[in-house]
Amino acid sequence: MLNKLDDFPVHQTPEPLAHPVTSDRNVYDRYWFNGYAKDGSYYFAFAMGVYPYRGVLDCAFSVVFKDGRQHCFFGSRRAPDERTELTVGPFRLMVEEPMRRTRIVLEDNTSGLSCDLTFSTRTAAIKEARQTLHAGIRPIMDATRFDQFGHWSGTARTPDGEITVSEATCYGTKDRSWGFRRVGEPETGGAPAMPQGFFFLWAPLFWDDHVSHAIFFDGPKGEPLVREGLTAPLYASEAAVPGTEDGRDIRMATARHRVRYHKGTRLAQSAELDLVPVDGPIRTIALDPILKFQMKGIGYGHPEWSHGTWKGELAVGGESFDPKQLNPLAPENLHTQQVVRASDGTRNGMGVLEQICIGPYAPAGFKEFLDGAKE
């Protein structure tokens, strides 16, 4: 099966680009973006993913206001044969200039959410280390991801009012990933699957003249499965960003984390990150959360609109909820991002802390599958 991308000299195998190299049914290719006000008054996020073997293309947009409600739009369709067709009902994503500028439009729909927003990068593309995880003998995740930090402009309309977004007031992070990981309806047949725990932290941060990033996957004893820390230049404008990668990112020897949780939950009350360089002093960054976003609002773990789930030829939907009224230990509510203030003792920054912890996790004292912090 051919599509427009096959007319470019970009092939990695003898197959057309529409044919994944892996046979894993959970192969995916995903866009993800967040945006948040520099004063911490709102946060929004987008997701769009294609799942070739599942035959699904889905998307989502969600907005939360500080001390207010979170509003969500969801869309899903049969995946088109043409990979450049990034449209689901009223939602469309347009890569106006690769690795520089992306525009996302959501037309009026029954969810009450709509937008016309443009992301403009202020960093070169930053490739995270390849992430490969196993459950017993079986690989359950093998993915590549690159990140870019930038600003947003445009307008978003919500049931609680309109947001005018400008590059001077709104940070954002772009995340592009592809490979395979568990999505959609679970497999059936064979021996029953044993429950699997999961610990993940992800912390992209803006500083005056650079960005920092830290990525963690841990095992149940706190053993490091993935540990990565880095810094990279922050450019003054989109035009100043040199090409795709600039070669100026600095990779740490390792990174460490310490999280303090709200009592009775698995939600971070505060956190510290250590960026440990190959040589030189360790940089310790303190994170203070100021606004929470539920990742189920863009499909992560959502009971009905989870990624890669078949919803029919075309389906759209939406919901609104008060994050303060949710059960914090319900499985679908464990995955969060929080807007955070950051400080390393000499500089102040801002960013997000993404987290999910399911199952026993010794460093936090979690002994059951869904128990909360004791103090």
pLDDT digits (tens, 9 = 90+) for 104-113: 999 999 999 9
Instruction: Determine the Cα–Cα distance for residues 336 and 354; give it in Å rounded to an integer.
Output: 6
Instruction: Determine the Cα–Cα distance for residues 287 and 274; give it in Å rounded to an integer.
Output: 11
336 domain-assigned:
yes
| pLDDT for position 137 | 83
What integer is the mean pLDDT of 224-230? 96
Range of the domain at 217: 24-184+195-364
Q: Please determine, for residue 93, whether its predicted confidence score (pLDDT) is greater than 90.
A: yes
6 domain-assigned:
no
| pLDDT for position 196 | 80
| pLDDT for position 27 | 93
2 domain-assigned:
no
Beta bridge partners of 106: 91, 115
pLDDT tens track for 143-194: 999 999 999 999 999 999 999 999 999 999 999 999 988 888 888 888 877 7
User: Which distant-in-sequence residues (6+ apart) come within 8 Å of 225 by Cβ?
Assistant: 133, 217, 218, 219
Q: Please determine, for residue 245, whether its predicted confidence score (pLDDT) is greater than 80.
A: yes
CA dihedral 209, 201, 337, 212 (to 10 degrees): 0
Stated pTM of the model: 0.95
Alpha helices in 147-247 (DSSP H): none
| pLDDT for position 80 | 95
Contact present, 156 and 165 (Cβ < 8 Å): yes
What integer is the mean pLDDT of 34-60? 97
What integer is the mean pLDDT of 43-49? 98
| pLDDT for position 183 | 87
342 domain-assigned:
yes
pLDDT tens track for 329-360: 999 999 999 999 999 999 999 999 999 999 99
Nearest to 373 by CA among 260, 216, 258: 260
315 domain-assigned:
yes
Instruction: Determine the Cα–Cα distance for residues 331 and 303; give it in Å rounded to an integer.
Output: 9
| pLDDT for position 175 | 97
The rounded percent of the chain whose pLDDT value lies above 90 is 84
50 domain-assigned:
yes
| CATH code: domain of residue 135 | 2.40.370.10
Q: What SS3 state is found at 96?
A: strand
pLDDT tens track for 274-314: 999 999 999 999 999 999 999 999 999 999 999 999 999 99
pLDDT tens track for 126-146: 999 888 888 888 888 889 999
371 domain-assigned:
no
358 domain-assigned:
yes
The dihedral built from the CA positions of residue 95, 185, 372 and 361, taken in this order, carries a sign that is negative
What is the domain count for the chain? 1
What integer is the mean pLDDT of 195-213? 94
| pLDDT for position 197 | 87
